[in-house]
Amino acid sequence: MALSKTEEQLMEIIWHLDGAFMKDIMEQFSEPVPSNSTVLTLLKRMQDKGYVGFETLGNSRKYFALVPKEEHFGKQVNGLIKDFFNDSPLQFASFFTKSSNLSEEQLLELKKIIDDELKKKQS
């Protein structure tokens, strides 16, 4: 299940802190800081979606990510490819390389990444 923009911002905090108590999470917000009840509601929704877990330590809860950032990012990119590029990674790669104004150095680095992946597939 997808995260809302606000939930994604909260996930970024949790990933960054690598597990945190409510106090730690609240300190990460810039103005205007949401209320504790709003953040608790978001955390509950994110638990229901399987993104966040917690452990109880005394009277406090330490929240942690159940989904690694890389996995979430991969799902987002795959959804983008499916929704906007006819489920074709090749169309996405073509669009990305032509429209993102990559420098020659960046294109060479991208080529190296592709070459390395090809070598892995061939062995």
Domain hosting residue 98, numbered range: 89-123
Q: Which distant-in-sequence residues (6+ apart) come within 8 Å of 45 by Cβ?
A: 7
Helices (H) and strands (E) in the chain, counts: 6, 3
Indicate whether 56 belongs to any domain: yes
Domain presence at residue 71 = no
Task: Give the integer Cα–Cα distance in Å for 23 and 62.
Answer: 10
pTM of the model: 0.74
Q: Give the tens place of pLDDT for each residue, 31-65.
A: 889 999 999 999 999 999 999 999 999 999 999 99
In a domain, 80, yes or no: no
- Whether 56 and 101 map to the same domain: the answer is no
First CA to last CA distance, the chain: 36
Region 1-7: mean pLDDT is 88
Predicted local confidence at residue 118, as pLDDT: 92
